[in-house]
Amino acid sequence: MMAVAQERPPPTRRVGGQFLAGAGGRLLPASVPLRWFAAAAVFHALAWLALAAGASQWPGWRGGPGWPLAALHLVTVGTLVSSAIGASLQLLPVATRQPVRGPRLAALLWWLYVPGAALLALGMGLAQPAWMVAGAALVLPVLGIWGLLLALNLRGARGMPGVVLHGWGAAASLLVLMGSAAALVALWNGTPLLPRDDARALHAAAGVIGVMGLLVLGLSSILLPLFALAPVPDEGAQLRSGATVCVALLLMALAAFAPAGSDAAQVLRWTALLAAAWALATHVRAMRRSWAEGLRSDLGRSGRLFRIGWGGAALAISFTAIGLVRGHDGADLPWGPLAVLAALGGWLLSILFGVLQRILPFLASLHAARRAGRRPPTPSALTAEGPLRVHEAAHLAALVLLAAALVNRSPAWLLAAAALGFVGALAFVGFVGVLALRLHRAARRSATDA
Amino acid sequence: MTGRDAIGARVWRESDATTHIDVRGLPPPQPLIQILQLVQRMGDGAVVIVHHDRDPVWLYPELAQIGWWADVVDGDPGEVRLRLARSTP
């Protein structure tokens, strides 16, 4: 060590990330992305509470306002989209080698979006159309601005054509999602702009597969190699997979407007489903190949959640296919709700939590390193392992129990699933809280040392 | 000693016993991978000079995790030059 110190030429700047000043244009203040991720964790806990509040409504629920709808939107609008906004605002500029645009705007959006999402969910739960309008009036403009920031970033992107294609698909889907959301809120307020079933079908496809699905697929191509220190997945495979998902989305949109039960609608749905299955297989094959070549092949809990997520996506496609074959037979298993559970809980949430538990300590360490003069806390020193262990076990158990509750149409099982899920969600909130506390302490120590 | 591995990073050793790696022009995350691969092969007391075309923001937490530290040193115009060494305890 002494030898190193003697050899050391006088550095121009002593840094542990102060050199991040050079990357300052690509980094938001730590509080901005961390606030979005913290909101996502809290909304996740609230989603399980809403699920419990609507336990008696679930067996007969066929859409429309109520706690089941609130629970769904706390997961989608609250957890998934909040995380997507935080991740895309911070990670895309770094990946596409561009400055972040409007850091103050990114901070302001949080203050509009989070209360708006909460109000929207509360309005849904309590079946208060006026509250839904007020919530949507906050959420939709934020989504529009986020879409614009996303588009500006993608327009100036250098390289990463696969990620960029997924991003454009998500941005286009966001427009459809916002339009169909506005149509649904208008419908519940007595002004039908689109037929209910058409608007719902568009909304579900654009939200789950279009916005969230494409972002998860695209960002995975950046994040998994980063975690595993692996080469970028094959660009050709990324492009083929992303383009096929976009085609599947287009077919789903056409199917939404085809006459219900018609042969045309069935053909469109089957073609879309097969395209989605092929796209998923292509994506997973490329990701696994890249992962296998990484310096760090064992990603532990995070890696398991990625694999579970891919399994969830495959199950969602399978359940949808079975539902298409069996039709709407009330005596049959609820294939539609099971597909939604597999897609939202199994696929999107599993991968999201796999990502968040790695990226949060990483981002925190990176920002802590901006304070010069001392060694920054390492990502592992910022990670509370205990809460993550609890979260993983509770997340998986809750999903299995929830599937059983849907199959048995049992409010009691559903309550048990909600209780387990809530415990897991609280554990994840605890992980975020401990990380924030450790980051704060590191900042105070740096200030004292300085 | 000089050489370029399959992915294109140029690695050489100078007479002052520092090892250099030039990752300019490589697509992300190759610079990160190449630098970490090199660093993990280095012994105690080794010093690595990185020649980069941008500030490698993701590198720093990874370095901290394995007990290394980075200083920015003077480089050519348009270059980000880093000096990596093991952290002192």
Closest residue in chain A to residue B38, using alpha carbons only: A295
Asked if B81 has any chain A CB less than 8 Å from its own CB, the reply is no
**Counting every residue, how long is chain B?**
89
pLDDT digits (tens, 9 = 90+) for A277-305: 999 999 999 999 999 988 888 899 999 99
Judged by average pLDDT, the poorest of A80-94, A111-125, A400-414 is: A80-94
Q: Which residues pair with A13 in a beta bridge?
A: B72
A-chain CB neighbours of B88 within 8 Å are 1, 4-5
We report the CATH number of the domain holding residue B52 as: 3.30.110.40
ipTM of the complex: 0.78
Q: Inter-chain contact A295–B33, Cβ cutoff 8 Å?
A: yes
Name the domain count of chain B: 1
- B85 reaches A (C-beta below 8 A): yes
CA distances from B35 to A118, A194, B10 (A): 45, 55, 11
CB–CB contacts below 8 A, A to B = 117
User: Given an 8 Å threshold on Cβ–Cβ distance, is B72 in contact with A13?
Assistant: yes
Residues of B in contact with A7 (CB under 8 A): 16-18, 47
What are A344-377's pLDDT values in tens digits? 999 999 999 999 999 999 888 887 776 644 467 8
Q: Rounded CA gap, A304 and A121, in Å?
A: 31
CA B33 to chain centre: 10
Decide if A5 contacts B85 (C-beta within 8 A).
no
SS3 content of chain B, % helix, strand, coil (to 5): 20, 35, 45
Q: Residue A418: what pLDDT?
A: 97
Distance from CA of A160 to the nearest CA of B (A): 9
Instruction: Determine whether the interchain pair A9/B45 forms a contact, defined as Cβ–Cβ distance below 8 Å.
Output: no
Contact across the interface for A11 and B70, Cβ inside 8 Å: no
Query: Bridge partners of B71?
Result: B83
Strands B19-22 and B47-52 come out as parallel
Confidence band of A328 (pLDDT split at 50, 70, 90)? low
Task: Report chain A's terminal Cα–Cα distance, integer Å.
Answer: 23
Handedness of CA A343, A346, A347, A353 (dihedral sign): positive
Determine phi and psi for B12, rounding to 5 degrees: -150, 165
Please tell me which of the candidates B47, B55, B65 has its beta carbon nearest to residue A7. B47
Provide CB contacts within 8 A for A43, sequence distance 6+: A74, A75, A77, A78, A79, A82, A117, A118
pLDDT digits 0-9 by tens, A180-193: 999 988 888 888 88
Cβ contacts (< 8 Å) between A378 and chain B: which residues? 61, 64-65
pLDDT band at A25 (very low <50, low <70, confident <90, very high): low
Q: So what's the pLDDT on residue A368?
A: 77
**Cα of B49 to nearest chain A Cα, Å:** 11
Q: Report CA-CA distances (Å) from A229 to A115, A387, B58.
A: 38, 26, 11
- Determine the residue among B13, B37, B40, B60 to mutate to test chain A binding: the one whose Cβ has the most chain A Cβ atoms within 10 Å: B60
How far does the CA of residue A20 sit from the closest CA of chain B (Å)? 7
Confidence of residue B60 (pLDDT cuts 50, 70, 90): confident
What is the distance, to the nearest Å, from the Cα of residue A227 to the centroid of all Cα atoms in its chain? Answer: 17
Lowest mean pLDDT among A29-38, A121-130, A374-383, A423-432: A374-383
Cβ atoms within 10 Å of A53's Cβ, excluding its own: 18
In angstroms, the Cα distances linking A368 to A97, A364, B34 are 21, 6, 24
Contacts of A20 in chain B (CB under 8 A): 55, 57, 60
Q: Which helix (H) or strand (E) holds B22?
A: strand B19-22
* Structural domain that includes position B53: 2-86
Which has more pLDDT, A127 or A448?
A: A127
Query: Looking at the complex, does the CB of residue A331 fall below 8 Å from at least one CB of chain B?
Result: no
Give how far B11 is from chain A: nearest CA, Å: 19
Q: What is the pLDDT of residues A51-91, one digit of tens each?
A: 999 998 887 777 788 999 999 999 999 999 999 999 888 88
Lowest-confidence pick of A108-122, A151-165, A268-282: A151-165
